């Protein structure tokens, strides 16, 4: 699969599951080296400590 297409699909899925918009979902995935499980873990940790701005959410 085309890596760019795969990343777009990951962004869409992450956005749907996290409730964040695509820009913030991209940032989270990119910051975690496109490791989806790591990004999900980091998201959960940051959300639990209120470190994600409300503007990130759809």
pLDDT, one tens digit per residue, over 20-55 is 999 999 999 999 999 999 999 999 999 999 999 999
pLDDT of residue 36: 98
pLDDT of residue 17: 98
Task: Find where tokens 């940790």 sit.
Answer: 45
pLDDT of residue 24: 98
20: left (phi over 0), alpha (psi -120 to 50) or beta: beta
Dihedral sign (CA 13, 58, 22, 56): negative
- For the question of whether the overall pTM of this predicted structure is more than 0.85, the answer is yes
Confidence of residue 58 (pLDDT cuts 50, 70, 90): confident
pLDDT of residue 1: 79
Class of domain 3-52: mainly alpha
Instruction: Sketch the domain layout of the chain as residue ranges.
Output: 3-52
Task: Find where tokens 């820009």 sit.
Answer: 23
């Amino acid at each position: 699969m085309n890596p760019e297409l795969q990343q777009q699909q990951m962004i869409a899925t992450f956005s749907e599951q996290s409730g964040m918009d695509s820009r913030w979902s991209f940032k989270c995935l990119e910051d975690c080296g496109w490791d989806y499980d790591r990004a999900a873990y980091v998201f959960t940790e940051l959300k639990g400590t209120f470190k994600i701005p409300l503007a990130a959410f759809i």
